[in-house]
Amino acid sequence: MRPGAERKAVDDTKRRIEITVERQRIVLIKRRTPSTPVWCETCAERPLMLTPDEAARLLDMTERDIYRRVEARQVHFTETAGGRLYVCGSSLQD
Ligand SMILES: [Zn+2]
């Protein structure tokens, strides 16, 4: 086994995780409404519910892309009584 090669593989994995964590932090810091929903009625779990804006930033997409996926029922979503749209974080991972 070549120790150098193994170390490189580990470093790559670590870097990917750090990028993911940092993206989530950016989204969470900018969240204006701390008390967001709720349950995802579709998966009956309590995943991270995201606004379209947050989901778009997390996935490097535009908000329009998110709305398109909502309209195509490709993601779970829910609307609050106040008319705010939230998408299910679990269903975004594909
Ligand atoms: Zn869901």
CATH of residue 39's domain is: 1.10.1660
Per residue in 5-58, pLDDT (tens digit) is 555 555 666 666 555 555 555 555 455 555 565 668 788 777 788 889 989 988
Same domain flag for 14 and 49: no
Residue 29 has what pLDDT?
Answer: 43
Ligand 1 centre from 39 Cα, in Å? 8
Question: In the chain, how many domains are there?
Answer: 2
Name the residue range of residue 25's domain.
1-30
Same domain flag for 26 and 44: no
Closest CA to 65 of 90, 40, 92: 92
Q: Are 91 and 75 in contact (CB under 8 A)?
A: yes
Same domain flag for 26 and 37: no
Per residue in 44-87, pLDDT (tens digit) is 777 788 889 989 988 899 999 999 999 999 999 988 888 889 99
Largest distance between two CA atoms of the chain: 60
6/43 Cα distance (integer angstroms): 38
82/38 Cα distance (integer angstroms): 14
**What pTM, to 2 d.p., does this model score?**
0.57
Same domain flag for 49 and 88: yes
Residue 17 has what pLDDT?
Answer: 56
Ligand 1 centre from 18 Cα, in Å? 25
Ligand 1 centre from 87 Cα, in Å? 8
